[in-house]
Amino acid sequence: MTDPEFHLNCPLPLANHEQVLLAHGGGGRLMQQLLEQVITPAIDNATLQSRHDSAVIEVGGQRFAFTTDSFVVRPLVFNGGDIGKLAVCGTVNDLAMAGARPLFLSLGLIIEEGFAMERLQGIMRSIGSTATAAGVIIVTGDTKVVERGKGDGLYINTAGIGIIEYQQQIAPASIRAGDAIILSGDIGRHGIAIMTQRENLQFETAIASDCAPLHREVAALLNAGIEIHCLRDLTRGGLASALVELAQTAQLGIQIDEHAIAVTPPVRAACEILGLDPLHVANEGRFIAIVPQAHAAAALERLATFGTDYAPALIGQVTTADPGLVTMTSLIGATRIVDMLSGEQLPRIC
């Protein structure tokens, strides 16, 4: 390891703040409070209350998924991707989590004066190639340039539209007691890849982000006739925040087994050194599928065909016990409650 001077923001337990903190954007409990107490009340409606990755809208008897996202990752280029690839994959994945086939994207660029043209061209090539590979078309966009020192290089905003071609109601409200929880691969790569590069930490094995589109995995499940109750990609806040949010929305308990959750040895070692819990570390190419137990084996078989380094795994189930809580059987056999972070573990991660 070189240059051990790095900075981690401590989670903040206080619920009330007079100013917005960086931690309010971290995907944890403070962000939930910001949404529930400040943002959502001003614009609340039934679609927002579904707390889904995408809004599901019916037009002329056809259902569409609609989503938007913004990307402020630092550094802009990292091992396994860059802000452009991240923007396309993140928006495609939000659509896929509603069971939609992604069709069209928008692209908004906010560029700081002085940003190197060659660097911008490289990121645009990444956006183009990732969109082509994912089978989506960028059909509209906007470009703004802000004063030097006011934009931190480059921010990207995207929106996406996809078509839902299956009758299943894939949403948190469809989760049922007894459902199986399937994790599509290992966790923690994206957050640790960003952190090690940002802080110039070096390990024997380089850690690359898992940044990737997930719509083909979802389509494979749907095409196989697998009943899906809910999907959720694991981004800020990691596996823990996704499970807690779903348990609270569905008002059901979730029980998971730490033995079944894959973490690569380099990611685990980095987490131990940095004092991070892999359950809270961000991912950009992993998701959970919540399906009836009778469909779990078939879902695992279909996902295994995508050949990730770590096979998809059945990591737990939905229960009627402890509504709104996530409990985990740890590696040593103890049972503990899994919660969201109060604040921000790794800022500017996506």
The string of pLDDT tens digits covering residues 188-231 is 999 999 998 988 877 777 899 999 999 999 999 999 999 999 99
pTM of structure? 0.91
- Phi-psi region at 167: left, alpha or beta (left = phi > 0; alpha = psi -120 to 50): alpha
Read off the pLDDT of each residue in 1-19 and give the average, rounded to a whole number: 54
Q: How far apart are CA 125 and CA 138, in angstroms?
A: 13
Side chain identity at residue 227, one-letter code: E
Q: How far apart are CA 272 and CA 293, in angstroms?
A: 34
**How confident is the model at residue 15, as a pLDDT?**
57
**pLDDT of residue 123 exceeding 70:** yes
**How confident is the model at residue 214, as a pLDDT?**
97
84-104 confidence digits (pLDDT tens)? 999 999 999 999 999 999 999
Banded model confidence at residue 343, pLDDT cuts 50, 70, 90: low
Percent of the chain having pLDDT more than 90? 78
Q: Which residue has the tokens 């008002």?
A: 251
**How confident is the model at residue 129, as a pLDDT?**
98
Average pLDDT score, the chain: 92
Q: How far is CA 235 from CA 119, 176, 281, 288, 338, in A?
A: 26, 23, 8, 11, 17
**How confident is the model at residue 204, as a pLDDT?**
76
**How confident is the model at residue 345, as a pLDDT?**
72
Read off the pLDDT of each residue in 156-177 and give the average, rounded to a whole number: 96
Q: How far is CA 129 from CA 108, 116, 122, 215, in A?
A: 17, 20, 11, 16
**pLDDT of residue 10 exceeding 80:** no
Cis peptide leading into 75, omega within 30 of 0? Answer: yes
Q: Which residues of 307-320 are buried (b: 16+ CB within 10 A; e: fewer)?
A: ebeeebbbbbbbbe
What are residue 144's DSSP bridge partners?
A: 110
35-86 confidence digits (pLDDT tens)? 989 999 999 998 888 888 899 999 999 999 999 999 999 999 999 999 999 9
Read off the pLDDT of each residue in 120-137 and give the average, rounded to a whole number: 98
**How confident is the model at residue 13, as a pLDDT?**
46
**How confident is the model at residue 77, as a pLDDT?**
97
3-state secondary structure of 41: helix
**pLDDT of residue 14 exceeding 50:** no
Banded model confidence at residue 1, pLDDT cuts 50, 70, 90: very low
Longest Cα separation, the chain:
59
Q: Are 291 and 180 in contact (CB under 8 A)?
A: yes
Read off the pLDDT of each residue in 2-18 and give the average, rounded to a whole number: 52
Q: Which two tokens stand for residue 171?
A: 């949403």
**pLDDT of residue 8 exceeding 90:** no
Helix (H) or strand (E) holding 63: strand 62-71
**How confident is the model at residue 9, as a pLDDT?**
46
Q: Are 289 and 221 in contact (CB under 8 A)?
A: yes
302-339 confidence digits (pLDDT tens)? 999 997 677 899 999 999 999 999 999 999 999 999 99
